[in-house]
Structures are given as C-alpha cells and as structure tokens.
C-alpha cells in the first residue's frame, strides 16, 4: 500500500478526468487512487473498469448522484494510505513534485495539519474569503512565491492531510449538503484541533466545472446559489467563535493594506 491515497469524486466529465489522471503520471511520490463515481452516464464506469493507468485503483460506483461531500466521505474510508489527498478531477498538475511538496509540508515539524494548493489567509465574519488574501499556484497567474504560505482556509480543489487526523475529526460534515462549505469547515476543524493550514507552491491548472457540474443533477444555477448561501451561513454560525480569522502577521496586514490602497489609487 502506498503512503498516500488520492481520493476523487466524479460525475460525468470523462475528458476532464482523463486529463487529470494523465497529468499525474510523472508524480514523484507513489500513490494509490480511489475514485467514487456518482452515477455517471458518459462511459466513466466503463473507463474505470478498463483503467489504463499504472496507479493502483479502487473504484466505487453509486447508483445515483449523492453529491460531492458524501462521495468524498465514502472515498477516504476506502483509502488505505497514511496520507489522504482529495483532488478535484478538473485539475491538471504541472509540477511532478506536487505530492512530494504536500508530504513535506506535513512532515516538516511546523505543526501543519492540512495542506493544499489554493486558499485564503483571511476569512470574514460571514465566512467569505477576502480576495486580496487569496494565495494559489494556478499556472496562468500564481500568487505564491514562497515554498508554503499559512492560510486560514484551504480550498477543496486539493486537500491533503493525515488519515489519522481525518478519522479524529470524523471526516467531512455532511450537514453542508451537496457541494459547498466542506473545505472551509475542514480547515477550521483542523485549526481547532491545534494544527496549521498551508498552501504549498506547486503549479497546477484548474479547468473548472468537473465537480461543480454535479449540481446540475440537483437543479438550476439559482438553486446552487441558494445552497452556497446556506452553506456559508451554516459555516459562519458553526465557527462564529473563530470568525473573523486572519493568519497574517500585523506587519503583513499593513503591507497588504498599503498595497491595496496603492492599486486603488492607480485605478482612479
């Protein structure tokens, strides 16, 4: 069994899944893969049965679309690695050392409990990210230069933590419903347990739509926006004792504020 297990939930969008898996071939750390298929009808099930990649695979088929959060909870309970990495199928890795960097973040003796590739350093009282504090390593315009940056919350595009911590926390809170809120909630649960959250510097592409399209099975976009608001309200109420949250040092806050003021003046 590999030390790291990658967990992916899919619903149709087979071309995105193929591209994601293809990008994982050069990964420098061995891993096994768990894919939970939420009732795809586009040939995903057949693709998984004839899996053409060298990674050890465990596939689980749901008869219907149970939503991302429930599928991820199914997935990590099937995983056997010491580390669990939740990865969206609409991503493509551009750095073969991406998984190596995530492992190093947790093993570096700096108290890191959760690592990822996208996150925010400040979260408002209502649960929203503060845009200027978002850090990521998206290939088209990365905002991170350091090897890693501490954040208040890690985005669900990639969530990496020890299985033992995940078990202690009980997995993802399914009370958030279909898609939204689970990543913020996990981040704050990790921090409540005394660990830090970081974003590491490892380039990736995020195509968008691979996971979010699962919402289409549940209703139109207006319903998705309503679910987003409900999830945000749930998060803000559950973690009100920790909100607002800002992990930046005071000097960094001042620099960021001055920078935003300068940008605003330049736009006038």
Cα(92)–Cα(21) distance, rounded to whole angstroms? 8
pLDDT at 211: 56
51 with 24: CB under 8 angstroms? no
Domain with 129 in it: what CATH number? Answer: 3.90.550.10
Does residue 268 form part of some domain? Answer: no
Mean pLDDT of 7-28: 97
Q: What share of the chain in percent tops pLDDT 90?
A: 83
Q: What share of the chain in percent tops pLDDT 70?
A: 88
pLDDT at 268: 45
Cα(154)–Cα(186) distance, rounded to whole angstroms? 8
Does residue 111 form part of some domain? Answer: yes
Distances (CA, A) of 190 to 91, 103, 161, 200: 24, 16, 9, 17
> What secondary structure letter does DSSP report for 128?
P
Total Cβ atoms within 10 A of residue 68: 27
Question: Would you say residue 207 has pLDDT above 90?
Answer: no
Phi/psi at 93 (5° precision)? -80, 135
Cα(78)–Cα(76) distance, rounded to whole angstroms? 5
Q: For the segment 208-256, what is each residue's pLDDT rounded down to a tens digit?
A: 765 544 444 444 555 788 999 999 999 999 999 999 999 998 877 766 7
11: containing domain = 4-261
pLDDT at 216: 44
Does residue 39 form part of some domain? Answer: yes
Residue 2 confidence class, pLDDT cut points 50, 70, 90: confident
Question: Would you say residue 264 has pLDDT above 60?
Answer: no
Q: Which of 3-17, 110-124, 162-176, 200-214 has the lowest mean pLDDT?
A: 200-214
Does residue 267 form part of some domain? Answer: no
Cα(16)–Cα(86) distance, rounded to whole angstroms? 16
pLDDT at 254: 66
State the chain's mean pLDDT as an integer. Answer: 91
- Sorted by sequence, the CB contacts under 8 Å of residue 37 that are 6+ apart come out as 10, 11, 44, 45, 48, 59, 60, 61, 62
User: What's the total number of domains in the chain?
Assistant: 1
Does residue 266 form part of some domain? Answer: no
Question: Would you say residue 260 has pLDDT above 70?
Answer: no
Residue 87 confidence class, pLDDT cut points 50, 70, 90: very high
Residue 165 confidence class, pLDDT cut points 50, 70, 90: very high
pLDDT at 130: 95
Does residue 205 form part of some domain? Answer: yes
More confident residue, 92 or 266: 92
pTM of whole model > 0.75? yes
Cα(89)–Cα(92) distance, rounded to whole angstroms? 8
């Amino acid at each position: 069994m590999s030390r790291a297990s990658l967990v992916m939930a899919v619903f149709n969008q087979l071309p995105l899944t193929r591209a994601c898996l293809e990008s994982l071939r050069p990964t420098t750390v061995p891993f096994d893969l768990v894919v939970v298929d939420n009732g795809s009808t586009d040939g995903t099930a057949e693709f998984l049965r004839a899996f053409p990649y060298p990674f050890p695979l465990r596939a689980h088929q749901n008869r219907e679309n149970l939503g991302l959060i429930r599928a991820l909870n199914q997935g990590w309970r099937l995983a056997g690695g010491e580390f669990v990495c939740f990865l969206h199928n609409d991503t493509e890795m551009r750095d073969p050392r991406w998984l190596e960097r995530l492992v190093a973040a947790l093993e570096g003796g700096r108290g890191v409990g959760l690592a990822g590739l996208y996150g925010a350093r400040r979260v408002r009282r209502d649960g929203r990210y503060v845009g200027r504090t978002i850090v990521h390593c998206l290939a088209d315009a990365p905002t991170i230069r350091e090897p890693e940056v501490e954040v208040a919350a890690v985005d669900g595009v990639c969530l990496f933590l020890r299985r033992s911590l995940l078990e202690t926390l009980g997995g993802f809170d399914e009370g958030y419903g279909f898609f939204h809120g689970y990543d913020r909630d996990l981040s704050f649960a990790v921090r409540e347990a005394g660990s830090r959250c970081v974003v590491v510097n490892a380039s990736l592409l995020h195509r968008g739509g691979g996971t979010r399209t699962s919402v289409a099975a549940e209703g139109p976009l207006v319903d998705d926006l309503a679910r987003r608001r409900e999830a945000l309200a749930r998060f803000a109420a559950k973690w009100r004792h920790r909100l607002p949250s800002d992990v930046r040092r005071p000097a960094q806050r001042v620099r960021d504020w001055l920078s935003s003021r300068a940008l605003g003046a330049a736009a006038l």
